[in-house]
Amino acid sequence: MTEQTLEKNKKKIKISNLHEIGLLIALILVLLLFSFTTENFFTQRNFTSILRSASYVGLIAFPMTFVLITREIDISVGPSVAWSGLFFVILIKWYDFSYFSSAAIVILWGILLGYFIGIARTKLFIPTFITTLALWSALRGYSLFVTEGRPIAISNKEFRYLFGGDILGLPTVTWIMLGAFLVFWFASKYTVTGTNFYAVGGNPKAARNIGINVDRVKILALIGTSLFAAIVGILFVARVSSGNANLADGMEFDVIAAVVVGGTALGGAVGTMTGTLLGCVFIAMISNGLIHWGIDPDLNKVVKGIIIFLAVVINSNVTFKSNSGGPKED
Amino acid sequence: MEILELNNISKSFGAIKALDNVTLSLRSGEVLGLMGDNGAGKSTLIKIIAGNFKQSSGTINFENQKVEFSKPMEARDKGIEVVYQDLALCDNLTAASNIFLTREIKRNFGLIKIINFSEMFKRAKDIFKDLKSETLPDEEVKMMSGGQRQAVAIGRTKLSKAKVVLLDEPTAAISVRQVAEVLELIKQLKNQGIAVVIISHRMPDVFAVSDRIAVLRRGQLVANKLAKESSPEEVTALITGAIEKA
């Protein structure tokens, strides 16, 4: 085969598709592996459980995909989820707010938090890693301080059944996640806003030069993760009927792992929502399967660490030369 | 018709005089080769025309009207486009998406606006056909050769119906075969009545497409003459200062 025809064949299959197909195959292999080696893995009940945990992660992983595409990162989402849930419960229990207005306040809080991270990045030039690392510590610490480490319980059956339970055989959170997936998938593929995320990640200098408001695009992406962390915080409360400072421990890791396993480059510019969705299911399935294997939960974390490392290795080798973005800006 | 006239343009950065009383004009359908050593003031001049810098003194007329650009957007709105050396393309987007970036064609469904890719691909295809380039609209830019990338960058200027296109080192860092492709693109722009300014260090490329050659040395215009009345040897001498003025 000549060099030219090789080039042409390469073009036919997009690298992003290649990654998704590979991930889908890996997903099926893992499914088969756990199904044949354990008794209770291949059951409807267990699949619901996998879907449920994949859904909480997914709700934050979709906006996180945009954040990584624009060359930023948000590692504060775990503590942010815990604090948002706690804040929600505190408003109800201590200040007698209604469920609806509490939810509205917490969602507004999420938007403002993301806006703050975005302003710190674009106007004060503080890397998002640093700002969100500070928040990671501060939000968890404050949550523990306020509650003295004890959960605050709420009891409202309707709220629990509606948002923490199932609808038509699937967890409510899964329905919400699927809705969010459609919105994010659509936005990433067919809207100007979505295109701008990719343009900013691909070549920030060019994007700015052409007339895209790069700062606004980055702020918008960062509002996404904080907003969805707030929403997930509320949904967690519905599930466990309490606010808890220790909730969502290490969730930022699961979210970023799912996004990266899904094929999004940490260096920006590259990533798809379909990949992220598959990544969420993949991570949730592995965590679940390892429990069925009877592996210690602490070792579970080791396995996840290895998976994220391998995913980055594969990701950067598949996409290194062609995808690692354009010229750096700063 | 003179489309762009620069009258006595000077620009100082503190004590450094980057441009000193430069007077230069450009006609529609004319290709001007702007030459000079590093630091001669070529980029400063381009940036003043494009609205990145404001001149310290002097005036600019565009289509016989005095203009003052405070930012690149204003120059672009008038029809002055710059294609920069680093090309300002997003590698992870398709050729069509790059051409239409910030000017996407949309279909409205109530409040929701959807990008109309098929229309964008069609229009981009026409633009490449006009430029006689074999660039594919739906291909990602990262897969493209240097010549095709230039076609995408120049394609952007076609979309905005630019009247003046400024090209900063369009043939640097690409292979010989692709240079021919880029020079062909410049000829196509000229044939369509667009005024082109090409900055380049590569003498043969400049002489291959330029109608007129202007030489800057230490901020001063030391030559402005028809290409056929000059020669690479003369221009080299002008750039280095071996010949004072021509």
pLDDT in tens, A73-94: 999 999 999 999 999 999 999 9
pLDDT value, residue A317: 67
CA distance B237 to B244: 8
pTM, 2 dp: 0.86
Average pLDDT value for chain B: 89
Listed by number, the residues of chain B in 102-161 with a beta carbon closer than 8 Å to a beta carbon of chain A are 102, 104, 106, 113-115, 117, 139, 142-143
CA distance B140 to B118: 15
Instruction: Pick the range with the lowest mean pLDDT from A55-64, A78-87, A267-276, B180-189.
Output: B180-189
Confidence of residue A6 (pLDDT cuts 50, 70, 90): very low
Confidence of residue A1 (pLDDT cuts 50, 70, 90): very low
Q: Give the residue-averaged pLDDT of A128-153.
A: 95
Listed by number, the residues of chain B in 43-82 with a beta carbon closer than 8 Å to a beta carbon of chain A are 72-73
pLDDT value, residue B133: 87
pLDDT value, residue A5: 45
* List of chain A residues whose C-beta atoms are within 8 Å of the C-beta of residue B143: 7, 10-11, 322
CA distance A295 to A297: 6
pLDDT value, residue A48: 94
pLDDT of A178 strictly over 80: yes
pLDDT digits (tens, 9 = 90+) for A219-233: 999 999 999 999 999
* ipTM entry: 0.82
Are the beta carbons of A287 and A230 closer than 8 angstroms? no
B88 in reach of chain A (CB within 8 A): yes
Give the type of residue at A131: T
pLDDT value, residue B160: 82
CA distance A238 to A255: 20
Q: Percent of chain A beyond pLDDT 70?
A: 90
pLDDT value, residue A319: 55
- Top-confidence range, A21-30, A83-92, A154-163, B218-227: A83-92
Are the beta carbons of B235 and B223 closer than 8 angstroms? yes
Q: In terms of DSSP bridges, do strands B195-199 and B164-168 run parallel, antiparallel, or are they unpaired?
A: parallel
- For A153, the 3-state DSSP assignment is strand
Are the beta carbons of A299 and A307 closer than 8 angstroms? no
Q: Give CA separation, A112 vs A100, A213, B138, B243, in Å.
A: 18, 20, 38, 65
Count Cβ atoms below 10 Å from residue A226 Cβ, excluding itself.
29
pLDDT of A314 strictly over 70: yes
Q: Which of A10, A195, A326 sits opposite B91 (nearest CB)?
A: A326
Q: Which of B90, B117, B139 sits opposite A206 (nearest CB)?
A: B90
pLDDT value, residue B156: 87
CA distance A168 to A171: 8
**Which residues are CB-neighbours of A253 under 8 A, at least 6 positions away?**
A78, A304, A308
- For A242, the 3-state DSSP assignment is strand
pLDDT value, residue A55: 97
**Which residues are CB-neighbours of A96 under 8 A, at least 6 positions away?**
none
pLDDT of A171 strictly over 90: yes
Cα-based angle B108, B111, B115 (whole degrees, multiple of 5): 40
pLDDT value, residue A3: 45
Listed by number, the residues of chain A in 184-203 with a beta carbon closer than 8 Å to a beta carbon of chain B are 190-192, 195, 198-199, 201-203
CA distance A266 to A262: 11
Q: Percent of chain A beyond pLDDT 90?
A: 71
Nearest C-alpha neighbor of A93 from the set A236, A227, A241, A230? A241
Nearest C-alpha neighbor of A184 from the set A59, A20, A69, A62? A62
State the best of B77, B91, B92 to mutate against chain A, taking most chain A CBs within 10 Å: B92
CA distance A150 to A245: 7
CA distance A50 to A283: 9
Instruction: Pick the range with the lowest mean pLDDT from A6-15, A260-269, B22-31, B72-81.
Output: A6-15
Dig out the tokens for B241 from the structure.
Answer: 């200062």
pLDDT value, residue B217: 92
pLDDT of A2 strictly over 70: no
φ, ψ dihedrals at B214, nearest 5°: -120, 135
Distance from CA of B232 to the nearest CA of A (A): 34
Q: Percent of chain B beyond pLDDT 70?
A: 98
Confidence of residue A318 (pLDDT cuts 50, 70, 90): low
Nearest C-alpha neighbor of B139 from the set B176, B79, B97? B97
pLDDT value, residue A282: 94
- Torsional class of B87: left (φ above 0), alpha (ψ -120 to 50), beta (otherwise): left
- Tracing tokens 């290649």 back to the chain, one arrives at A18
Confidence of residue A18 (pLDDT cuts 50, 70, 90): confident
- For A171, the 3-state DSSP assignment is strand
Q: Which of B88, B92, B113 sits opposite A191 (nearest CB)?
A: B113
Rg (CA), chain A: 20
Dig out the tokens for A39 from the structure.
Answer: 């008794």
* List of chain A residues whose C-beta atoms are within 8 Å of the C-beta of residue B106: 192
pLDDT of A209 strictly over 90: no
- HEC assignment per residue over chain B: CEEEEEEEEEEEECCEEEEEEEEEEEECCCEEEEEECCCCCHHHHHHHHCCCCCCCEEEEEECCEEECCCCHHHHHHHCEEEECCCCCCCCCCEHHHHHHCCCCCEEEECCEEEECHHHHHHHHHHHHHHCCCCCCCCCEHHHCCHHHHHHHHHHHHHHCCCCEEEEECCCCCCCHHHHHHHHHHHHHHHHCCCEEEEECCCHHHHHHHCCEEEEEECCEEEEEEEHHHCCHHHHHHHHHCCCCCC
pLDDT value, residue A131: 97
pLDDT value, residue B130: 85
pLDDT value, residue A16: 63
Tell me whether residue A64 is exposed, middle or buried, using C-beta atoms within 10 angstroms of its C-beta: 0 to 12, 13 to 18, 19 or more.
buried
* List of chain B residues whose C-beta atoms are within 8 Å of the C-beta of residue A192: 104, 106, 113, 115
φ, ψ dihedrals at B211, nearest 5°: -85, -35
Domains of chain B: 2-91+161-240 (3.40.50.300)
Dig out the tokens for B189 from the structure.
Answer: 């722009």
**Which residues are CB-neighbours of A100 under 8 A, at least 6 positions away?**
none
Rg (CA), chain B: 19
pLDDT digits (tens, 9 = 90+) for A96-135: 999 999 999 999 999 999 999 999 999 999 999 999 999 9
Distance from CA of A183 to the nearest CA of B (A): 11
Give the type of residue at A163: F
Average pLDDT value for chain A: 89
pLDDT value, residue B85: 67
CA distance A77 to A81: 6
Are the beta carbons of A182 and A188 closer than 8 angstroms? no
Cα-based angle B11, B16, B21 (whole degrees, multiple of 5): 35
Count Cβ atoms below 10 Å from residue B165 Cβ, excluding itself.
27
